[in-house]
Amino acid sequence: MNRLEYTDLVETVRQHDIAYYVEANPMLSDREYDVLYRQLLDTEKAHPDWIAADSPTQKVGGQALSHFEQREHAVPMLSLDNTYSLDELTAFVQRVIKGLDGERPVMTVDPKVDGVAVSIRYENGKLIHGVTRGDGSKGDDITENLKTLKELPTLLPDAPEVLEVRGEVFMSHAGFQRMNRQREAKGETPFANARNATAGTLKLLDSRQVAQRPLSIVLYGTGAVTVGAVDSQTQLRALLLSLRLPVSEWFQEVKNETELLAAIAELDKLRQTLPYPTDGAVIKVNRLDLREKLGFTAKAPRWAIAYKFEAEQVDTRLRQVTLQVGRTGTVTPVAELEPVQVSGTTVSRATLHNFKEIARKDIREGDWVVIEKAGEIIPAVVEVRAGLRSGAEKEIVTPTVCPACGGPLVQENVFLRCMHPGCPAQVRRALQHFAHRGAMDIEGLGQAVVDQLVDHELVCRVDDLYLLEVEQVQALERMGAKSAQNLIDGIEASKAQPLWRLIFGLGIPHVGSGLARQLEQSFASLDQLAAASIEDLELIDDVGDIVATSIHDFFAAAEHRELLAALLGHGLNFESQWSGREEVAAAGAIAGKKFVITGTLSEPRDAFKEKILQSGGKVSGSVSKKTDYLLAGESAGSKLEQARKLGVRILSEAEFEKLAQAESPA
């Protein structure tokens, strides 16, 4: 694999993550996804210098965001080994006994909570900070957000001197549904599932917003604790209960394997009644001194294991296959089922992923199928009961035209994609991208409004936005006079946005917001960019032939030329804010220089990034020979090492500020 193919693979996996987690509309089976993901991992192992900061692999376990301060965990937050097999569970118990020189320890069983892991530190009874797992050794300081949880008092008068409690933040099923109904009523996009909603909420920078979301927490462990405060899991539970901190309602001590298996079976039966999603049982050695004796492997303790319950499988009938056009124009088949109860909810639709998968499993309309809800997320059709066929089942034909617009479909790998630019499904997606916060930032133009604008054919292409009248907007559902006027004002205001926002908003394949900024710096106007040759484009840093060709082809297409002419006609800003400023920019110390930012600084990294970009510099995610400066804050790690190795100049925050001052033109 070459580097460009790698970049493409990163993008592909990211699209699948969005389809799965954000849109709840997976286009690949888990197996197909795993193959791609594995390929990505292998490539990155072979070429560590290629690893893109935004690669999905870099997010595993939730990499810390730049907006929150980073905080080191006093005791690392490790993950658990897990298994679906009772044989492996027995093997685990045998290993534990061997590790304890033949002693059979008391073990505990508690529910494995499927939420977002956090660690909260109390010192002298005062809540000092709360941190996400992050990469296990350091995470985001989300103290303010965690303080909004009703279950976590800021003062715990009787707590040990140091008490770090660990647990899982979650949204109850009921709270999640209520919140989504409210969001929909307000025209906001509902969340795909409770876990994503929880993770998203904890990442909000404004804790007042967090306070309005139905978050809860359940605690099951500790980080650093005053010596002698607790000596077992059972004591920890008693301590947490006495402090009135939330623990799971179900917990058992077991002395042998018979009791262990009985406990697991009991939990499996009652887990539907718990307020949080539970996908397994966690089995731990009870006594802390024995845990110490057993120790850890590289990533998990030797004294605990998670036993995961099989996803519940249910038989039902596949009535019909319908087609769904995703935001990227991808057409996916959906199974319409005779409604059945699975894992506590009624399921009437399931994803069939793609047509190759249908062919592989030989799924037909009218078939009896086995469906499964894995990880509480999206139900899937697992297999067909071919033996139950009557002969009346109908084969599923791969469509050749788009169900939304009738345009031709093109096969791309396993997907079918509608290529018709006027397709309502794609107009919807284009509009959402154009309006979103990172692009043209048009307030009030959320998914619900976009859907209505497209459904009522008020907008058939992005530029139609600028023709909207306030009366037309007001006639939409749930749209008052005031919000209609606000939307019109927002659309009007967007005409003056800096050029890079427009470039990014156009949705040119391979052009993210960073490259859009670079393009604005490299061309005096959108017209000049549109007229650039592939060779011109390749002169820009980070633009190789795939990206250059993509930009060139985009502007070469007649429909995009028409779109640009229309946007210009509506008075959108096509001028680069840098044009005519070359002399100033070139004179500065930052202009044209490549920066990498790392470590903890006095302000969020984005603030520094903005400063550098404003001064005509560039910011990239990884240190290479081409890097001019590394801006290094506190506890900088591997990037600092790399910079030292390559002889890249390292700036402290103070040194950077000096450079920036020298920069500012008189």
Which positions are annotated as active-site residues? 112
Does position 306 bind ligand IVH by CB under 6 A?
Answer: yes
Does position 384 bind ligand IVH by CB under 6 A?
Answer: no
Q: Which residues contact 553 (CB under 8 A, 6 or more apart)?
A: none
**Residue pair 508/551 in contact by the 8 Å Cβ criterion:** yes
Q: Which of 153, 246, 301, 498 binds ligand IVH (CB under 6 A)?
A: 301
Cβ count within 10 A of residue 626? 12
At its nearest, how many Å lie between ligand IVH and the CB of residue 203? 17
The amino acid sitting at 186 is K
Q: Please identify, using beta-carbon distances, which residue of 220 and 415 lies nearer to ligand IVH.
A: 220
Does position 282 bind ligand IVH by CB under 6 A?
Answer: yes
Q: Please identify, using beta-carbon distances, which residue of 168 and 393 lies nearer to ligand IVH.
A: 168
DSSP 8-state code for residue 67: S
Cβ count within 10 A of residue 39? 15
Question: Contact region for ligand IVH (CB under 6 A) — 110-118, 237-245, 253-261, 470-478?
Answer: 110-118
**Pairing between strand 162-171 and 278-285?**
unpaired
At its nearest, how many Å lie between ligand IVH and the CB of residue 458? 47
Residue from 546, 516, 420, 551 nearest 11 by CA: 546
- Cα dist from 137 to 70, 75, 78, 131, whole Å: 10, 8, 8, 11
Distance between CA atoms of 412 and 397, rounded to whole angstroms? 17
Strand ranges, E, within 141-248: 162-171, 215-225
Does position 79 bind ligand IVH by CB under 6 A?
Answer: yes
Residue from 62, 27, 55, 21 nearest 41 by CA: 55
Question: Contact region for ligand IVH (CB under 6 A) — 298-306, 324-332, 614-622, 658-666?
Answer: 298-306
Q: Which of 16, 73, 112, 552 binds ligand IVH (CB under 6 A)?
A: 112
At its nearest, how many Å lie between ligand IVH and the CB of residue 577? 46
Structure tokens at 305: 């294991």
Does position 117 bind ligand IVH by CB under 6 A?
Answer: yes
Does position 78 bind ligand IVH by CB under 6 A?
Answer: yes
Structure tokens at 589: 């110390």
Question: Contact region for ligand IVH (CB under 6 A) — 58-66, 77-85, 120-128, 602-610?
Answer: 77-85
Does position 524 bind ligand IVH by CB under 6 A?
Answer: no
Q: Please identify, using beta-carbon distances, which residue of 173 and 570 lies nearer to ligand IVH.
A: 173
Count of residues of this chain found to bind ligand IVH when the rule CB under 6 A is applied: 15
Name the residue number minimizing CB distance to ligand IVH. 117
At its nearest, how many Å lie between ligand IVH and the CB of residue 248? 7
Does position 107 bind ligand IVH by CB under 6 A?
Answer: no
Does position 109 bind ligand IVH by CB under 6 A?
Answer: no
At its nearest, how many Å lie between ligand IVH and the CB of residue 82? 6
For residue 282, how far is the Cα from the chain centroid? 26
Structure tokens at 214: 């139905």
Q: Please identify, using beta-carbon distances, which residue of 80 and 224 lies nearer to ligand IVH.
A: 80
Report angle CA 541, 545, 551 to the nearest 5 degrees.
85
Phi and psi, residue 415, nearest 5°: -100, 155
Residue from 71, 176, 85 nearest 130 by CA: 71
Does position 80 bind ligand IVH by CB under 6 A?
Answer: yes
- Tally DSSP H helices, then E strands, for the chain: 25, 24
Does position 220 bind ligand IVH by CB under 6 A?
Answer: yes
At its nearest, how many Å lie between ligand IVH and the CB of residue 253? 14
Q: For ligand IVH, what does the binding mask look like between residues 154 and 173, x meaning CB under 6 A?
A: --------------x-----
Does position 113 bind ligand IVH by CB under 6 A?
Answer: yes
CA diameter of the chain:
84
At its nearest, how many Å lie between ligand IVH and the CB of residue 93? 17
At its nearest, how many Å lie between ligand IVH and the CB of residue 611? 37
Residue from 442, 436, 265, 417 nearest 330 by CA: 417
Report angle CA 193, 195, 200 to the nearest 5 degrees.
95
Q: For ligand IVH, what does the binding mask look like between residues 241 and 280, x meaning CB under 6 A?
A: ----------------------------------------
**Residue pair 545/533 in contact by the 8 Å Cβ criterion:** no
Q: Which of 105, 221, 223, 633 binds ligand IVH (CB under 6 A)?
A: 221
118 forms beta bridges with: 132, 167
At its nearest, how many Å lie between ligand IVH and the CB of residue 197? 18
Rg (CA), the chain: 28
Residues 234-237: contacts with CB under 8 Å, at least 24 apart: 234/108, 234/286
Q: Which of 304, 453, 532, 547 binds ligand IVH (CB under 6 A)?
A: 304
Q: Please identify, using beta-carbon distances, which residue of 158 and 289 lies nearer to ligand IVH.
A: 289
Query: Under rule CB under 6 A, which residues in 531-570 are in contact with ligand IVH?
Result: none
Distance between CA atoms of 399 and 408, rounded to whole angstroms? 9
Question: Contact region for ligand IVH (CB under 6 A) — 104-112, 237-245, 444-452, 533-541?
Answer: 104-112
At its nearest, how many Å lie between ligand IVH and the CB of residue 371? 25
Residue from 81, 157, 76, 172 nearest 119 by CA: 76
Q: Please identify, using beta-carbon distances, which residue of 83 and 486 lies nearer to ligand IVH.
A: 83
Question: Contact region for ligand IVH (CB under 6 A) — 78-86, 266-274, 424-432, 565-573?
Answer: 78-86
Residue from 635, 652, 18, 664 nearest 326 by CA: 18
Does position 211 bind ligand IVH by CB under 6 A?
Answer: no
Q: Which residues bind ligand IVH (CB under 6 A)?
A: 78-80, 110-113, 117, 168, 220-221, 282, 301, 304, 306
